[in-house]
Amino acid sequence: MIKGSIVALITPMSPEGDVDYASLQKLVQFHIDNGTDAIVSVGTTGESATLPVDEHVAVVQKTVEYADGRIPVIAGTGANSTSEAIELGDLMQSVGISAMLSVVPYYNKPQQKGMVKHFQAIANAATVPVILYNVPGRTVADLEADSVIQLAQHENIVALKDATGDLGRLAELRDRVPADFALLSGDDPTGCEFMIQGGHGVISVTANIVPKLMSDLCKAATGGDPELARQIDASIAELHRKLFIEPNPVMPKWALYKMGYSQSPFLRLPMVEPDISSQESLEKLLKQMALV
């Protein structure tokens, strides 16, 4: 089962906008050293929307190379065209990934039946496990609980990343999916309670900045120590909030630049660097947490 603290890794870039592979290697090692359980490469936080296919594949391939079997690498492979998602998955599977994360089709607003058929087609074509990714705040379409339950019966669909922040959704799913199907939060502010109430882990933006704390939080929340989990979560609650004062991944990229893990906070257009007020707000917190 894919579980625990799974980082939604940024894609570091040079001031000119090229992928910064030296910083990527440094970040992979940072997560291995601090107990992160798995890496999602080129998901939403990794700027999948603005990396062309060849670059997308190259970043995943390098992440697998740098991980060198020490930590699983999950590739972001979603698309709003089923055939495109399958093609991207085919390219990713050849570089040694452990699983693929496939987002709900965006913009075209498919029906529930269409989404079920979409993911079944992807899973039928895949040679690695598939993780469903439901994030209606970005895709508009919402993969409903009954659809997840139906898809969870497919032998190659092994988990759900749910970024709704709705703990009621977890309650709907928890007892109705197979025992080996992983329920993963995609919402840092509610991730702790998600795990305490029966979830198996979190695909986390905050883990980019404090991987050891997120690893400890996940171990406590899934290991029967809710008091410790809530204590750790309270200590990083303001970080959860400040990392989303501008659209993700604007703030985590800027934070890692300030922390010395990336040579620049560059984002591909149409994303741009954070406003000065946002920079100052997050930098103040990072100093309070002794991260810079």
pTM, full prediction: 0.97
Per the structure block, which two tokens stand in for 62?
A: 């390098």
Q: Is 258 a catalytic residue?
A: no
For the chain, what percent of residues have pLDDT higher than 70?
A: 100
Distance CA 252, CA 180 (A): 32
Q: How far apart are CA 207 and CA 7, in angstroms?
A: 5
Exposed, middle or buried by CB within 10 Å (0-12, 13-18, 19+), for 32? middle
Torsion of the alpha carbons at 190, 29, 46 and 292, rounded to the nearest 10: 70
Q: HSE, CB side, 13 Å, CA atoms: give it for residue 4.
A: 17
pLDDT at 1 over 90: no
Mark out the alpha helices in the chain (DSSP H runs). Answer: 21-33, 53-67, 82-93, 112-125, 136-139, 145-151, 167-174, 188-196, 211-222, 226-242, 250-258, 276-288
| pLDDT for res 196 | 98
* Res 165: pLDDT: 96
Token duo for residue 179: 């025992």
Contact 182, 148 (CB under 8 A): no
Domains of the chain by residue range: 4-234
Among residues 250, 127, 139, which one has the least CA distance to residue 186? 139
Is the omega angle on the peptide bond into residue 189 within 30 degrees of 0, that is, cis?
no
Q: How large is the average pLDDT for residues 191-204?
A: 98
> In terms of C-beta density within 10 A (0-12 exposed, 13-18 middle, 19 or more buried), how is residue 287 classed?
exposed
Tens digits of per-residue pLDDT, 84-95? Answer: 999 999 999 989
Distance CA 105, CA 3 (A): 24
pLDDT grade for 3, boundaries at 50, 70 and 90? very high
Is 107 among the residues known to form the active site?
no
Confidence (pLDDT) at 193: 98
Number of residues assigned to the chain: 292
Query: Which of 3, 66, 133, 253 is labelled catalytic?
Result: 133
CATH of the domain spanning 4-234, picked from 3.30.1330.90, 3.40.50.300, 3.40.50.1100, 3.20.20.70: 3.20.20.70
Rg of the chain in Å (alpha carbons) = 18
Catalytic residue among 161, 242, 253, 258: 161
Quote the CA–CA distance of 280 and 156 in Å, as a whole number.
Answer: 45
Give the residue carrying structure tokens 């906070």: 265
**In sequence order, which residues have a C-beta less than 8 Å from that of residue 195 and are 6 or more positions away?**
185, 201, 202, 218, 221, 222, 229
